[in-house]
Amino acid sequence: MIEFRLNGNSGVSPYQQIVQQVKNALRLGRLRIGDQLPTVKEVVGKIAINPNTVLKAYRELEHEGLIAARPGIGTFVVNSFDETNYAAQRTLRRSLEVWIEKARRAGLDDESIEALFVDTFLFSPKELVR
């Protein structure tokens, strides 16, 4: 089952962080259609946050059609993003791992690696150049 983590300093509100983490999990295949999400009680028991925050996040995900609550049973994933990306994601992850290792060997520290990636990513074209 997915476990949430809250970053107090990120500037992103807690409920947004939960929504993002569910969406990311869906994108990365860690959550698939039919998987059960943890109950509100389970979430707040692991990370001490207000239950309303969790409820709000789940409501938004439900509104976006990604999850649905089955009364008496639990909350489940009913929809996801394009599944065919999973295979491509595995290959891309491997390439990224190789790239990171190269960057480390070149002597870059963690922050430089992250800065290099974010910078390149932000300035990259937003759409595929055909």
Partner 1 sequence: MTYAISASGLGKRYGRKWALSNCSLDIPEGRVVGLVGPNGAGKTTLLHLAVGLLSPTVGSISVLGEGPASSAEQLGRIGFVAQDTPVYSGLSIDAHLQMGAALNSTWDAQVAKQRINDLGLDPGQRAGRLSGGQRAQLALTLAIAKRPALLLLDEPVASLDPLARREFLAILMEVVVEHNVSVILSSHLVADLERVCDYLVVLAASRVQVNGAVDDLLSTHHRITGTPKDLKNLPDTVQVIESSSTDRQTTATVRSVDPIMDPAWSIESVTMEDLVLAYMGQAEEQRRDLVRSKGGAK
Give contact residues for partner 1 (rule: CB under 8 A).
Answer: 6, 8, 14, 40-41, 44-53
Residue 57 CB, shortest distance to partner 1, in Å, is: 14
CA distance 53 to 51: 5
CA distance 103 to 101: 5
Closer CB to partner 1, 48 or 122, in the complex: 48
Residue 80 CB, shortest distance to partner 1, in Å, is: 27
Question: Which amino acid, 33?
Answer: I
Residue 101 CB, shortest distance to partner 1, in Å, is: 35
Beta strands 74-77 and 36-37, pairing class: antiparallel
Q: 16: which 2 tokens? A: 């947004």
Closer CB to partner 1, 44 or 100, in the complex: 44
Closer CB to partner 1, 43 or 77, in the complex: 43
Residues in the chain: 130
Closer CB to partner 1, 2 or 40, in the complex: 40
Residue 124 CB, shortest distance to partner 1, in Å, is: 28
H/E stretch holding 76 reads strand 74-77
